[in-house]
Structure 1
């Protein structure tokens, strides 16, 4: 029996009918919401397993953090390569799962700091950061979805920005200086640009059956924004 998905010609979202486009958007954002929920569940599980928690916290100092960051970048590249190059939704699901697990692990130290930032370990800081992240993400996504403007020109700008940011992070670890609030604020702007770019890809680049792959790109940008907004809350 032939695979229907492999014998069907799909078009990018901007070229399909309004009904097909609405279905594609709904599926993409449903998978994004599912990825966020899975992230929360896995993160909660990690905090209930002392060996994983202690191991992640032990990787936050010096060269260990660079090793952890390098591993995360490798997993990110692997997941995104699967999402972009593979035509199989099953592989897209695998890439999304791998990426969610990797994000949950790398977030352990920052969330641990947020939970211990207040004396009673309340969730106020996490809740505030989450609300700010979702509000900004929704606003930026709406701009693209309503205007259908193509933000593909941001690709080279983002590439240079992320390269500079990575260089500063590595330098900060090697030479022991704190990048500070200004860096986190700049990364919030960079993450916002990434959201515009990824949402633009949703409209103009991804085909109507690639909703899982599209949700991976959006999830990556959303979590980057959440990381630095949360970082701003814990270092002010």
Structure 2
């Protein structure tokens, strides 16, 4: 493997190459997610999808499995072995496709479901592009968002678990709050790749950006679906 220099200390050419590789991998991860999701929708019986959301303990198990899998994927994506890095990214794409399956299936069965999914994707893309531009063009320091994300993440997780256990409807404003949290995550992760990553860690950087984008897409889709229900 080539020398792993901090992006902040790399030459202009090395930084440009790192950013190109990172965002190319983000795009490939999104395309892979779309392909895997399409396959799952085609092959997974509707009864299995209904089972995934039929019980509170089943959904909590899925959330726990997703968290554990995400931790493993992130660790693999930062390994020195390029093969393990790609394994981590591929595994995380699969996890996202599985956790998204019930919601995408429900959205698809709604009137105008395909349009809703497309609208959510377009809104997510524009918001992601705008937030990324803010980081690179303003060169502001967004490292302060780390504490916000940690606290907000724990609060959100607690609310989700309580909602599942007690059958609470978290409602529109929770989704709006999670959109704000996802935007903060994109700002933080984009800022982080400029300073804390090495030039050979573009797969791990792509995974972190992809995770934030999928979080944003999840809650934008929820908001649009709630308007149709």
SS of structure 2 residue aligned to 1:107? helix
CA distance in 2, matches of 1:122, 1:73: 28
Which of 97, 102, 106 in structure 2 is aligned with 1:104?
A: 97
Q: Is the 8 A contact 1:148 1:203 kept in 2?
A: no
CA distance in 1, matches of 2:198, 2:95: 26
Corresponding residue for residue 59 of structure 2: 65
Which of 12, 32, 45 in structure 1 is aligned with 2:39?
A: 45
Q: How does 1:116-135 map to 2 (within 5 A)?
A: 116-118=109-111, 122-135=113-126
In structure 2, runs of 5+ residues without a counterpart are: none
CA distance in 1, matches of 2:77, 2:141: 21
Corresponding residue for residue 72 of structure 2: 78
Q: How does 1:1-236 map to 2 (within 5 A)?
A: 4-5=1-2, 8=3, 10-51=4-45, 54-61=47-54, 62-84=56-78, 86-118=79-111, 122-236=113-227
Q: CA RMSD in A?
A: 1.3
CA distance in 1, matches of 2:93, 2:141: 27
CA distance in 2, matches of 1:101, 1:141: 25
Q: Is the 8 A contact 1:188 1:225 kept in 2?
A: yes
SS of structure 2 residue aligned to 1:87? coil
Q: Deviations over 1:27-51 (max 9, x none)?
A: 1110000000000000000011034
What TM-score, normalized to structure 1?
A: 0.92
Aligned positions, number: 226
Shift of 1:110: 0.8
What TM-score, normalized to structure 2?
A: 0.94
In structure 1, runs of 5+ residues without a counterpart are: none
